[in-house]
Amino acid sequence: MSWTYRSVLLLLLSHGANAVLEPLHHNDCRSRSVWMETQLLDNYLTNQHTVTVIESYTERPIILSPYCLHNPIPLNAFTLDRFQLFVRHSLEQHTRQLEYRMNECFVSSGHRDVLLTELLPYLSQYNPRAKVLLITQGMQDEALTELFHVAWYKYRLLQLIVLNHHGNDTIESCVFNPFRKALSPDLQYLPTVKSNLRCHLLVDDGQLDAYNRQLNHFIDERVNKLNGYPLNIAMHVSNGSTSAYDCILGSVSFTDIDQEILSIMQRQMNFSVVLHKNELELSIGYIHQNGTPVGTLWQIEKNLIDLAANSRIIHDYDTRNLLYLHYISTEKLVFITPRNYFRNRDKTQVFINPFSVAYMLTNVLLSFSLPMIIFLLEYAARRLEVQRETGVRYSFGAKVLNLVGIIYNVSVRLPRADRKRWIIVGLLVYNIVSYPIWQGVTIRYLHPNHQQVNNINSLGELIETKLELKVSQYHEHIVRHEGPHLQNPLYSELSSRLSTKNTSSLRNSIEQIIIHGNSALLIAEEYVPLVLAGNYEWIPGKPDGIWPIQKPIYEFYKSMAVPKTSPFVGTFNEIVLHCVEAGMNDRFKHQLETVVQLMQIRRIRDHPSVPDYIVFNMEHMLPLFIFYFGMLLLSCVIFLFELLVKCIERMRSQRVVQLAVDEFVPFEFVH
């Protein structure tokens, strides 16, 4: 704004040589009235950077005190006409946003009519937060009260002090505290009378030090202690809570951090609350697609409220009167999606994957190709009449069975009968086929995160789905104007697919996700555990129908909003900063964790049914171990029985001596 101030000032200088008055050099600074006026101005200008003198008298300047200041402060001098022209040019150059500097001071003088109609309206347009010192001569009480009344209730000029001269050596210094003034029963403003002003007659130099201390205390206390003065606060309140998640909480309740800070403000500043109970989207406020502010943002523009407690920081906005306080916390946005959206993708990834398919195909090809090669070799040998070993007769099936045994790495001696070999080969094939199946089942049920396979876990996967992507009105403007993110193709496509249709009710949005499974909603990350812990009594079926994408999509600051013309900006900011430094965010997170634990207990109580999937452990494998142990025991019994039979046959064979001729078996296995 300082650059703009200089540019407009140079513009005025280029249009006329009399646009700015040169600082006056005089010898009248030693007079008592000017000296007292200078001391008051010096005390009032503490921490101010510039002083602008506006002369309303065209005959001769009567404002002398700014030129007598001991501490050098940059001075600018205008005539009243040129100051009005300066304000008009400044407003024309800044049609979107206005920056009201708090370290600026204006000093002027004039009659009541001139001040009310020609000066105060332009001061309120240019900078209503600046300090204003008006010098008058013998103004009556009625005119003085009217001046303060109009300055505050019409033009929102609070930091106003009037030095009303009575004679040569007497100054009546008056200030106004509208927050101590009584209101009508319907909270309407009553006329201002002289008793509502705080005026002091200064006739002696010794009074200045004490009065300056009293004046500084009055100015500080005026915006810090409001004595029950009503402030208009916009906040979403439902079922006694400011949370949008009342439909999930039920009988459980907690205090949002916005409501906690507001209660601290009310307790320290001692004001009463006129609560504007809007819907959540309106209480936070948002920018319509045509650029019009809606909800609390519109109310702030029109100075209808003093504080928007549920607001969020919007970086790209077209508002003139919106001012954000010190940020409270950062808010991250994540998508909640339908649980088990892909359903059978886990089976596909476990059973139908390149490794399993390659493993199965390799064994099948070996089982069929090698026997065919042997068959062709046998066929070629017969056609070519290759000489064979005499006395040896064996079939092609026997050779195939032996070869299959070699392929499957059987390390035992195969039986000689073909039918017995077919049985063994069948068992081997069953083992080969069943092994990857059982392995896949074990991996699925023993893996701790097996449910992630069937859910949406990244923004890329979400974009590939046909889900309707929804975002609330107050988050929509933030998401669409995140400049760095729009360089990413995923975020660009996400921005084009976002919809705000039917998002004013969180309950309806959750119903669409759980029941229909056709949408995904963007919500604050800190409330995701709360959403997952809800039992959703009004929704038939199982409550575990929501799955969050873990990685946040967007991140931005959360803060309260006030009008730029608010006199409480400094006090509000100081309280918010102290709350943040005292660890209120951590306190809120612990409180939210406790609420989530209570809701999880309630959910287990209300829904004791076993879920539709079983997480396996070693106890579930006990029947399988018993089965294998039984089969091993049976094989041992059969083995002992075969030994017994073999011994009996050997004893009988010793009685009958005969020559045994071994039959040739190809690929004989040894023990």
pLDDT band at 487 (very low <50, low <70, confident <90, very high): low
- Among 123-137, 304-318, 349-363, 487-501, the range scoring the smallest mean pLDDT is 349-363
| C-beta separation of 26 from 80 below 8 A | no
**What residues does 137 pair with on adjacent strands?**
165
**Measured in whole angstroms, how far is the alpha carbon of residue 624 from the centre of its chain?**
49
Residue whose tokens read 């409480």: 568
Element at 450 (helix H, strand E):
none
Residues 6 or more apart whose Cβ sits within 8 Å of residue 396? 371, 374, 375, 378
Q: Which residue has the higher pLDDT, 84 or 544?
A: 84
pLDDT at 255: 78
> Rounded CA gap, 571 and 108, in Å?
28
Residue 285 phi, psi (nearest 5): 85, 150
- Smallest CA-to-CA distance from 285 within 564, 567, 560 is with 560
Which of 71-74's residues contact partners 24+ apart within 8 Å by CB, and which partners? 71/42, 73/45, 73/48, 73/49, 74/49, 74/50
pLDDT at 667: 44
pLDDT at 143: 92
Dihedral sign (CA 50, 54, 59, 60)? negative
Q: Is the pLDDT of residue 613 over 90?
A: no
> Rounded CA gap, 584 and 533, in Å?
23
pLDDT band at 400 (very low <50, low <70, confident <90, very high): low
Q: Which of 573-587, 600-614, 646-660 has the highest mean pLDDT?
A: 573-587
Q: What is the pLDDT of residues 301-348, one digit of tens each?
A: 888 899 998 777 766 566 678 888 888 888 889 999 998 888 777 666
> Rounded CA gap, 239 and 71, in Å?
57
Q: What is the pLDDT of residues 491-511, one digit of tens each?
A: 878 888 888 888 877 778 888
> Rounded CA gap, 399 and 112, in Å?
122
- Among 73-87, 263-277, 383-397, 566-580, the range scoring the smallest mean pLDDT is 383-397
Q: How far is CA 226 from CA 137, 168, 179, 214, 273, in A?
A: 32, 37, 6, 17, 12
pLDDT at 582: 92
Q: What is the pLDDT of residues 170-222, one digit of tens each?
A: 889 999 999 988 877 766 778 888 989 999 998 887 888 899 899 989 999 99
Task: Calculate mean pLDDT across residues 42-66.
Answer: 71
pLDDT at 443: 62
**Measured in whole angstroms, how far is the alpha carbon of residue 438 from the centre of its chain?**
44
pLDDT band at 224 (very low <50, low <70, confident <90, very high): very high
pLDDT at 122: 94
- Among 106-120, 628-642, 656-670, the range scoring the smallest mean pLDDT is 656-670
Q: Is the pLDDT of residue 5 over 70?
A: no
Q: What is the pLDDT of residues 155-170, one digit of tens each?
A: 989 999 999 988 777 8
The neighbour count for residue 412, using CB atoms within 10 Å, is 10
pTM of the model: 0.72
| C-beta separation of 51 from 108 below 8 A | no
Cα angle value 345/349/355 (rounded, 5°) = 165
pLDDT band at 649 (very low <50, low <70, confident <90, very high): confident
Task: Calculate mean pLDDT across residues 577-598.
Answer: 90
Residue type, 523: I
Q: Which of 65-69, 89-93, 259-263, 659-663 has the highest mean pLDDT?
A: 259-263
In the chain, where the domains are located: 32-224, 355-383+394-439
Q: Is the pLDDT of residue 391 over 70?
A: no
> Rounded CA gap, 507 and 83, in Å?
55
pLDDT at 121: 94
Mean pLDDT of the chain, nearest integer: 77
Q: How far is CA 220 from CA 175, 194, 214, in A?
A: 13, 22, 10
pLDDT at 11: 38
pLDDT at 317: 64
Residues 6 or more apart whose Cβ sits within 8 Å of residue 70? 42
Give me the architecture of the 32-224 domain, per CATH: 3-Layer(aba) Sandwich (3.40)
pLDDT at 145: 93
Q: What is the pLDDT of residues 336-346, one digit of tens each?
A: 999 888 877 76
